[in-house]
Structure 1
């Protein structure tokens, strides 16, 4: 009997090294439920579980998830220090085929280090863009004034130059809706193919078009955008040369997170194109046709969603899922396996190291 029990214990320990932790599997299941991978644009995107780190029974990670837009070295360092079980990185760190994984490449080095520390990586990317209630709908909420005011971010001055140098302070994102939106209609610009839409996600698709019941002053919308995305101090904007900002009123707004020209520049243009980035010539083309362009720098159109929406949605679903799976597992688990399920706590945090690569220096 003792020999049999010892054999079972050894087999169990060996088995856990060839799979990720049960908590990480729960994270993946929750993400796939909230942001179905079938809604991602597989023609170019690479979504899903990109790094599955084996469970090390001797060094179990915390039941915590770190959300980020980009999985940089700094974000990897942060997750390792926090002992997270998983990183949900919106942008895929593995985007094209790899012929090798070495320490020489900085991104591959981060993946190797994360695997060594038992931290898995999941990337939802365009599934978050297209899903109802996803990033595009969050931009709709921003431009229609759903979010309340934020305090301006503080810029630290640099005494050794004539410029105020940014220390990349964290924008103060609006985390919840605090006011009623301007009356409007909202539609999907490019609906997802019907064959790929899971039940309950019928309104999925790329981009959103907001049509206000009555035209709104552009300056009012700029204030809403600054508050909602945490950049009240400055918004990059392009307007037609024959117009002044104070005189422009907006009836229709097209929105797409990230690089939105491929979604927004087809067919008739809305009065305002609101996205993360557009090329010089695309912005010129839009303004020459009479439209306004607001381009925030790529990830500034995305990061606020992690704070305002994804963190709470994932925490709610993951907590329910983990508690249910944990209760079931503890009832039938071997004594030596129960340690994996002993921790009932679940946490989801947004990275403090994650930021857009571009900052702004203001001359004194």
Structure 2
């Protein structure tokens, strides 16, 4: 009699936890591909750890990381499979990753737009950031005092940088350094009181799901009192882990210090289709195409973008990791009790059920493909 092919018991607990936290019914099934994308068979002879690796993108580097860590499941926010596959070969890098993971017994689950649309999910997290205030700032949302502002405005002079056109001094070429968004290792809890500025909040594209009121794609924030754009920029920087920089567009002839914001349209990832034609002062998203940004500032709007996945990755660290850890612990205990009481459970499965450990970590190698090249001598 051949052994029954099934997924690992722990992997089933993780999938069940994800479906309860972010039901697949919340996802935009008209184009998205969410759920269990790779169900790896359980091999008791090479059983994986009871651990989950969270990532935005399932790249070869993240696959290597999961294999090295002996994880059972990768929860990849972006689906690695969007369209139907006619073959699975090693010649395609993404298919190669799937084949490697299946061989190692590692399953892949993708929640994507289910997290975007969920109440308390990614859209609300970004809204919490933009309506937060620095913990060191007054509660009214005004910018905190900056100790460095008392320094003279004279630019710092580097010893190796010429200060004039002396012909006897060899000119130094600028040195540029590539800076990526802070990784999981570099992230700290934001010095930000989330959602502490008085505001109202609504959903841009609501879902008709009585079981999940306020679910839907995108958020609109309307402040009770207009907020300085400079304060919002600071909140976004703190909430996203203090990246080295991010793009911003404002109307020509304006300057950041003179702009006040009463309303914000918010969308993680690519916001063009969701944010167009919104009557708000600021569009806050991961990316916006060139012409949409031009159209926005021509209408008097401002735009803040973070690079696509940088608008999403912090949610894994700040919210999903602990959320999933607690949910999987509960699901694992329930599954263990049920399986132990079932007749005919194979010895190898019983052994797997004896392991009470549960771990959830965020990938150290996941990152947006884009970084920012910063001049070492930039003022």
Provide TM-score, normalisation by structure 1: 0.88
Which residue is 1:363 aligned to?
375
In the alignment, is the contact (CA less than 8 A) between 2:55 and 2:77 conserved in 1? yes
* In 2: Cα distance, 1:137 partner to 1:172 partner: 20
Which residue is 2:175 aligned to?
162
Task: Please list, as runs of the form range in 1=range in 2, the aligned pairs for 1:100-249 lying within 5 A after superposition.
Answer: 100-145=87-132, 162-166=175-179, 169-170=182-183, 171-174=186-189, 178=193, 181-192=196-207, 194=208, 197=209, 199=211, 201-249=212-260
345, 351, 354: which one aligns with 2:363: 351
Task: Please list, as runs of the form range in 1=range in 2, the aligned pairs for 1:54-65 lying within 5 A after superposition.
Answer: 54-65=41-52
Which residue is 1:255 aligned to?
266
26, 40, 44: which one aligns with 1:39: 26
Q: Does 1:299 align with 2:309?
A: yes
Q: CA deviation at 1:165?
A: 3.3
Unmatched segments (≥5 aa) in structure 1: 1-9, 150-158
Q: Alpha carbons of 1:169 and 1:257: their partners in 2 closer, same or farther (altered >3 Å)?
A: closer
* In 2: Cα distance, 1:323 partner to 1:177 partner: 35
Which residue is 2:326 aligned to?
316
In the alignment, is the contact (CA less than 8 A) between 1:79 and 1:87 conserved in 2? yes
Aligned partner of residue 23 in structure 1, secondary structure:
helix
Q: Alpha carbons of 1:147 and 1:172: their partners in 2 closer, same or farther (altered >3 Å)?
A: farther
In the alignment, is the contact (CA less than 8 A) between 1:143 and 1:224 conserved in 2? yes
Unmatched segments (≥5 aa) in structure 2: 137-171
* In 1: Cα distance, 2:107 partner to 2:373 partner: 36
Moved more, 168-177 or 126-135: 168-177
Q: Alpha carbons of 1:57 and 1:124: their partners in 2 closer, same or farther (altered >3 Å)?
A: same
295, 303, 314: which one aligns with 1:285: 295
Provide TM-score, normalisation by structure 2: 0.85
